[in-house]
Amino acid sequence: MAGVLTLAACNAAPSAPQKPDQGTPLLRVVYRDADAEMVLMVPEKGRASLRGDCAAPLLIDARTGQARVLSNAEVQTRLKTMQLAGATRGVCP
């Protein structure tokens, strides 16, 4: 059977989305301006504040795609100049 190629990975079932019991429920909120996107992780109402790398506010440069963690002061400054672009539910492990 020369010439037969089997790709097992193509038949793999997609991974299941994370369930809320696998982490702290949150909203990923995206703000945007002409130069960058800022992603903030906000705990859902009634939940404890988020900690660790998962909760770090990120700034993504639109030109290079490079991301960096923002300080609280930088977040507050950028909230005054950036536009809310959207939000999605997720979890923070």
Q: Is residue 67 part of a domain?
A: yes
Question: pTM of the full predicted structure?
Answer: 0.70
Q: Which residue has the tokens 């020369």?
A: 2
Q: Is residue 90 part of a domain?
A: no
Q: Is residue 55 part of a domain?
A: yes
Q: Is residue 80 part of a domain?
A: yes
Residue-averaged pLDDT of the chain: 79
Q: Is residue 66 part of a domain?
A: yes
Q: Across-strand partners of 87? A: 29
Q: Is residue 14 part of a domain?
A: no
Q: Is residue 60 part of a domain?
A: yes
**60: domain range?**
22-84
What is the tens place of the pLDDT at every residue in 28-71? 999 999 999 999 998 877 666 777 778 899 999 999 999 999 99
Q: In what order do the strands lie in the sheet with 58-61?
A: 67-69, 58-61, 36-43, 24-32, 83-92
The rounded percent of the chain whose pLDDT value lies above 90 is 53
Tally the domains of the chain: 1
